[in-house]
Structure 1
Amino acid sequence: MATCSSEEAYDYNCTPCTQQERFVEAKRFCVECGEYFCSTCLAHHEKFGLTKGHTLVKCEEVSKESVPTCLSKCDLHTDKEEDMVCGDHDVVCCRVCLAKDHKSCQDIGYLPDVASTFKEEGGLEILDEDLKSRMKTLKLSYEKHAIHGAQLRMRKKTNIRRLKVFKESITELIETAVTEAEEDIENSLEPHICSTQKLTEAAKEELLKLSILSEDLINENNAMLEYKKALHCKRALREIQSNNDDCKMTHDNKYVDKVVKTLSSFLTDQCSFGAIKVSSTDTEFDIPNMCVLEGGYVCIADYHGRKIKLLDNDLNEDMTYDTRCLIWGVCAIDKHMIAFTMPSLMTVEMVEFTKNPVFKSSFSAKFHCRGIAFFENNLYMAGGGFLKEEPGQINIFDIEGNHLTKFEMKSNGNRFCAPRSLTVNTNNIFVTDCQKNSVVCLDFDGVWKWILKTTRFTFPWGICLTTNGNLLISGRGSDNIVVVSKNGEFLGEILNKDDNISTPQAIAIDNENSRLLVFGSKKPYLEIFNSNFCEI
């Protein structure tokens, strides 16, 4: 056995000998004990039962960090080290656990060897990729379920509100119809009742008269007087017969039928269930755009009716402004003032709603302007690209009508096709392009930041911002309302046909009343939803 007086003489010194201040060269390392052993100490180590089965490795392997110098103790068998691995169950265990619980397992290995192989073969990197992939899948699943949950909560809230409105509406309708029927009955039958009363009183008098004549006739003994009284009786009988002919009883259910007809008309009109009907003088109904003013007032652009209609906080028609021609876009300037576009005239007009709508100003946009938005004292307009119009473009004007800039073509040659609606925040301009089935985001220098195209919506039309910066888009061709993030990521569908959405165009959020307002292109009904669930 080799010994020396200096610890530095050997690369690996025997641990027990070193503790006795004897420096002997170590031959093996015990994984369980975490100590180095010389040949002599190793022989003793292998004789005792507690240490006989320990794992011994070459000292060089320890220096390469292939083997840990300390292993955890088993929770069940505290005198055993957890030095084995079951790959079938991905667990670390001691040899006793291995013998008892993993007899049929095939992928068994020694922890130091398995750990070394795992590191050498890049197992950590592979596992990291697997984790990232699974996290991505779970994120998509989470977002999908979050959208679906919001959709269900919105549908629940909306349907409960609609039932409440329906109950109030039908109760009011029944009360009104019954009141009107009562008035009709009163006005129609009361004259007959009065007339019948008069006839009853007259008949009573005639009956009394005939009774007297009859008694007098029977008691008369003189032939001539008897004959005179008989003639008197005949005249009386003719008069009474005439009165009976005028008395006719009639039975008419028209009043009840009128109430039933009114209720039937209401119940068969499915669109009226929880929606607000907006009057229109034109046979065609089309609301391409609307905006919300302070106080929950709503301005809608009646395209064919050539009117701007102001709805109050209860969504009842409050005021109407007649325009010169077909109108398209509308946006709020302040609490009372709005601006709207007339594409065929290439004109923007501003109107103030106070006691009565008042014309304030107008200017020529010099292009077929449609969608319009107001932000920080500037007006942003989308238009062109339709039929033989100028190319699709975005133009910016100040509030006085001075032209500031135009965005038409992207630097790489990509351009707008038929931009419809737009909205603006502090950093970006968001535009729907219905012909390209896309939503575009550009900055105030006209640089296109992103463009979203997806089969989840078609013919995108209306657009508005939620309070958390996401976008709501109305898919006119896909009959839905979808949510898009401010970074251009499609988040999901929030409303569809099941929510009575049909060819939606104009959309707006009334934050003061927590309601999302939607107009379709074919029916004169304003659909109302709870906007709290749009914050995805």
Structure 2
Amino acid sequence: MASYFKSSIHRGCDFVHDFSCSPCEENGFNTEAHHYCTQCKKYYCQNCVSKHDGLYQKHAVLGRIDVEKWEAAPEVVDAIKRCDMHPEEALKLVCCDHDQLCCHVCVAVDHRPCTKIQHIPEVAKGIHKNIEFQQIPKKIAELHKQLEKMKEARLVNTTSLKKTRAAISDEIKRIRKQINEILDKIEKTTLQDLDRMIATLEKSIKKDIETCDKMTIELQNMIAAFKPKAKSSESKSYIAYRKSQDMISQANDHIRDMSIKKCYNVTFQPNNIIAERLTSVKKFGVLEEQIVQTKQPHDPLTDPNHVFRVAEFKKYNLKINDEEGCFINSVCELPDGEVIIADTFNCEVKLLDKEYRVIDHYDVDCNPWDVCHIAGNEVAVCVNNYGDGKHELHFINASKGKIVATKKLSFTHECIAATHYAGQLYIASGCALYVYTMSGQKVKKLYEDDSWNDTVQKCAISNDGKTIYITNYDGHELITLDNNGNKLASLTDPDILAPTGVHVTPAGQVFVCCFRSKTVLQVEKDGGKKLATLARKKDGVHRPRALFFSSRTSSLLVVGWHKTFTVMKLI
């Protein structure tokens, strides 16, 4: 250490020494050391060393001529005095330019241009009377208390997680047992059908064998009547002749019938839909990590009860080249901020960048009605051609500013809206809501209302999968279902006329747009109450068809029967 500091560094009226006198430093003076005691492990100036020698005559004291040896026996530095950057050095200086504690190496390497380098004893004068200094122990004690509470809470949390793990494990085992019971029942029913079929066939075979045995005996008995023996009367012979003819005819008929069905057999055609559905299901359920926040600042993006208001309206043009106009029927945002819209009027799916400029489009041979985000950059598009009865779901990927089609699914009913949740597709047909696997196998019809033509137009599912929202266009209402299809609520309101789009944010806020009333609403999570009317026709909302909340920008994207779409900044 001393080899790097053979001379002092001057900073204004202060001197920064390579070694400072320890007693002087303790008394607030900045004095260069000329001696080092190997026993005391302290530095001394000329004045202090005489006092030291008077008290400790047998101590070995090294002078400046032996300064290189001082490195072999460095000052014992308390942990609090050590430099974070150079742990072998003690903190002795303060750089006021950077408001940073420094050792000699810090000053030489990082603070050479600085003009305000002060010795710590000078800066520290009167520190014990400083109010903030006096409050430090109290603050530390409070922090210590809080940290202990946090630690205790984390330990309790660890215990609760273990209990949660056990509870979820039990639930998974219960589901597995339930599935096993269902499979056992299916197996039992199938085997019972097999046993009944085999028993019926065995009974038929036994009957054929008995008939063969009976006819064989009768034919053998009849042969005896034709053996040469004492002449019998012609009448008896005639009777034998006629009976034998009848018997031969019956035997031939039986042989012919048995020849047609030479052998009975049973085949088995597996029900592959069971394996397909089990294969498409990767897990028994969805595991979600939940962070419970307490006493945190209010965040509208995570508070399901927050009622938004509009801070700003902006409009963007969606036309491509010489298009006369657009009829945008759906919109969704991808994770990277790009946006997908379905232009029903122009039979196009359009890709927009983060500034809502059209950068690519995918031509569809018929009308695209809805876009549904699947995962990552994958989107499903509902396509219908009413002329030839085509009802399809087109899967596309949007990557690097381009749209690429991947696969299609076909349906026997209309496919006007779709929602994806937990590996299943929810397809709205206009008057019913179906559940399908990702491979296109129908699971069930979840809900139906055939009182009008357009009672199930679009749907949205809450983040936990427990609540489903449906827009009833003809009935002018928002329907709320549980995940079993049971109706929980039905909301009507003067501002709800011909509701079209519905969207649920990750936090659980519900938004609805209405075509005829030209309104955008926020609805409570339970679906039974209107919380706010966010926009009307006077705000530039023109025949809205769909909407999507962007968590990235805290904005509501509203599209409809117009060449522009509206971006509503919410707070």
Normalised by the length of structure 2, the TM-score is 0.43
Please state which structure has a larger fraction of its residues in helix.
1
Normalised by the length of structure 1, the TM-score is 0.46
